[in-house]
Structure 1
């Protein structure tokens, strides 16, 4: 009886050791994958529906660049030209994610088609996901969408009023992308 228990224990320990070795060896062959999910920001009706605020702004000055935990952020002081959704102060600070390693005047984003870097002297439509848009001292807003205002203020107003009036029936549906880490 004791011999059987001892043999059974050895077999169990051996199986665990084999599983651990297999797991360790397999980890070097594949990269971990996780999904990043969020609203479809390629659709303006979804941007309008899911954002806290949408406005045309003029970038005045890049005021701060910082890197933190592998991410980089740029804060820009902007002047509000016209708000389409939400309440915007006359002047406020907007922060956005940018690529690491930026130098003054040379910043980039991972998705410039939907997320342009705010450059002083230019006008943009920004959609704010979180933070304060009032412009109160010490506050800033997080822009998750920024595009050059190419239609002029009146054209952007018409476009975004239509987007805000849109149904965006699947605005709740999130699109996900697999991201390979490592």
Structure 2
């Protein structure tokens, strides 16, 4: 009987401690790191990208899901190379939300990472992969935005962004974000 009472008392103490810890953690908030360049600043996109171009999306060529992630590959025609080298036509892959169907793809951040739709023009920034347009290769677009300024306007805008590198070191772009209490 004493053993049973002792076990119940120990379980009660542990449960009370866990409850206190859970309430205290909610009241104080949480801190986590957010890493990655600020894709809201075009000078950062220009500085961190291997290549930047104005392209026209020609055709979505493949969609695949792998390990909880989804990828859309689009054949694009290069209209204006802004940084690096681009072939006349190349395949560009980008991450999209799972469950897409032809013509119905979405991304987590459509303002800085628009889904490439055939017939529309975009400014894309490539982080890795081949931009040469060689058969069987593809580039990874980590930034895609509709080309709202037209080809000439985008050229002028991105030349300014390339000429204005960010002041801070863009490779060490992690910052702590405090969560709200409650």
TM-score class, shorter-chain normalisation, is 0.7 to 0.9
Deviation at 1:169? 1.2
Q: Matches of residues 40-119 of structure 1 in structure 2 within 5 Å?
A: 40-119=38-117
- On the 8 A contact 1:46/1:171 being kept in 2, the answer is no
* Equivalent position of 2:173 in the other structure: 174
Cα deviation digits, residues 119-158 of structure 1 (max 9, x gap): 0000000000111000111110000110000101110000
Normalising by structure 1, report the TM-score: 0.78
What is the aligned counterpart of 1:133 among 126, 131, 153? 131
| Shift >2 Å, 4+ stretches | 32-36, 175-178
Unaligned runs of 5+ in 2: 1-9
How many aligned residue pairs are there?
A: 160
* Equivalent position of 1:145 in the other structure: 143
- On the 8 A contact 2:76/2:92 being kept in 1, the answer is yes
Normalising by structure 2, report the TM-score: 0.78
Cα deviation digits, residues 78-113 of structure 1 (max 9, x gap): 000010100000000000000000000000000001
- On the 8 A contact 2:74/2:91 being kept in 1, the answer is yes
Unaligned runs of 5+ in 1: 1-13
